[in-house]
Structure 1
């Protein structure tokens, strides 16, 4: 048996080989984990902007289909309570049929959809990123919105990650845009309008 050991029939790794493997593994993890976190946060932002855009498209299509003004407004209403327009879009929103064109949800007007707010750590602002998005979005029966608008979603924790925006032109057609505005590096004031 001792003769086989001397002829080079060893099994296993030496301490030096294990240390080299651990060093390479540590280097790969050090480079890969931050990149993965960046990708994960960027994907989270994109998913939210896609949902926002889908709801804007729904609002526009319902206005055309129903031949009535339809409004999408921010709503901070709690589940189980009567929905109402209040707060900022980051807290949630609702879409309703505005038959009397007063831009308020009245009794008898149908709520088409309610949506939860953004996940923690994301903000929804205007393009300049100096105020929260809280102005309602309305579409007339012909599908026009009457104004240009940009709603930008950013990461509060990682402002270095590019923003994603929903950009609407005056006729009401929305599109998604990457890095359309600068994400705020300081908190957006809550009271700003």
Structure 2
């Protein structure tokens, strides 16, 4: 007699092994997802600083990045987890001021913005992390340098190992991030 297929015992053994392997793999996969989220969120702020630096040099005007809770005005808080905005800072005061019309980037003399011009917005961070900075804004001068160096710290909701990240914005305007140990 020639039979093909699996016996019930073989099938149960295979399903048991799959269940054991899954129970081991899922927690480590969740850890990978959490670490990837932290790196991505940190890199998004680094990209905002890089955009501000390049736009300030390209446009030969001050460009600022500030924390924002509604992505249309600057917040006075140093909590960056609620989001941020990048904008041309026409009057160099580090605060986004719109004149209320629908055109956010009106050009005036010499083809320069005649008002603050919103370049990029970023919504609040998912996963309930904390992201704090030494200031509520970073102002890039027309040469790409910043008015004052700044330090930012991103800490996931449940921080384990080296999941915490810092972002340093040097006086020459270059942002860089690094992993640090959780508190």
TM-score (norm 2): 0.77
Query: Could you say which residue in structure 2 is the equivalent of 1:182?
Result: 182
Q: Secondary structure at the match of 2:139?
A: strand
| Structure 1: runs of 5 or more not aligned | 127-132, 184-193
Q: Secondary structure at the match of 1:99?
A: coil
Check conservation: 1:147, 1:171, Cα contact below 8 A: no
| Alpha-carbon distance, 1:181 to partner | 4.8
Q: Deviations over 1:33-84 (max 9, x none)?
A: 0111111111122222222111110111111122222111111126xxxx21
Query: Could you say which residue in structure 2 is the equivalent of 1:122?
Result: 129
Q: Secondary structure at the match of 1:151?
A: strand
Query: Could you say which residue in structure 1 is the equivalent of 2:80?
Result: 89
Check conservation: 2:66, 2:95, Cα contact below 8 A: no
Q: Which of 91, 101, 120 lines up with 2:92 in the alignment?
A: 101
Query: Could you say which residue in structure 1 is the equivalent of 2:146?
Result: 145
Q: Secondary structure at the match of 2:180?
A: coil
Give the total of aligned pairs.
Answer: 164
Q: Secondary structure at the match of 1:137?
A: strand
The aligned runs of 1:38-53 (5 Å cut-off) are: 38-53=31-46
Q: Quick one: distance in 2 between partners of 1:46 and 1:140? A: 28
Q: Secondary structure at the match of 1:89?
A: coil
Q: Secondary structure at the match of 1:90?
A: coil
| Structure 2: runs of 5 or more not aligned | 100-114
Cα RMSD (Å): 2.3
| Alpha-carbon distance, 1:175 to partner | 1.6
Q: Quick one: distance in 1 between partners of 2:137 and 2:68? A: 10
Q: Quick one: distance in 2 between partners of 1:85 and 1:166? A: 20
Matched, 1:20 2:24: no
Check conservation: 1:89, 1:134, Cα contact below 8 A: no
Query: Could you say which residue in structure 2 is the equivalent of 1:189?
Result: none
Matched, 1:74 2:67: yes
TM-score (norm 1): 0.73
